[in-house]
Amino acid sequence: MRKYYIYILASKRNGTLYLGVTYDLGRRVSEHKQGMVSGFTSKYGVYMLVYFEEYNDIRDAIQREKAVKKWYRSWKLRMIEKMNPEWKDLSLEPGFPPSRE
């Protein structure tokens, strides 16, 4: 069964944030880091994976992404701090990327 992810990239702790959705989190984060995704993330240096959620249905992931994008910035920061209080780049942690199975 395919997994889907919403993810948040940051330029630094409490820095510029970018929220996206993908089915291959490892590949997508790598594309951002290598500058293969032109636009916002390249322009503002937003490459650090600080948050992600996993879903079994793409519709649920897209619905969540749209909802979180409408949130106040302070709510997003609180959500990140709850999962990742040290603002580590989760793409550098053991076990990343999550299994695609």
Q: Which residue ranges make up each domain of the chain?
A: 4-92
Q: Is 68 left (phi over 0), alpha (psi -120 to 50) or beta?
A: alpha
The identity of residue 35, as a single letter, is G
Pick 97 or 3 by higher pLDDT. Answer: 3
Report angle CA 8, 40, 16 to the nearest 5 degrees: 50
Q: Encode pLDDT of 21-39 as tens digits.
A: 999 999 999 999 998 888 8
The pLDDT value given to residue 98: 84
Contact 10, 50 (CB under 8 A): yes
* Cα→Cα distances 45→33, 42, 56, 58, 90, Å: 9, 5, 30, 27, 16
Mean pLDDT of the chain: 94
Using CA atoms, how far apart are residues 5 and 87, in angstroms rounded to an integer? 19
Mean pLDDT for the stretch of residues 7-16? 96
- Decide yes or no: CATH 1.10.3720.10 for domain 4-92: no
> pTM to 2 decimals?
0.94
Q: Encode pLDDT of 55-95 as tens digits.
A: 999 999 999 999 999 999 999 999 999 999 999 999 999 98
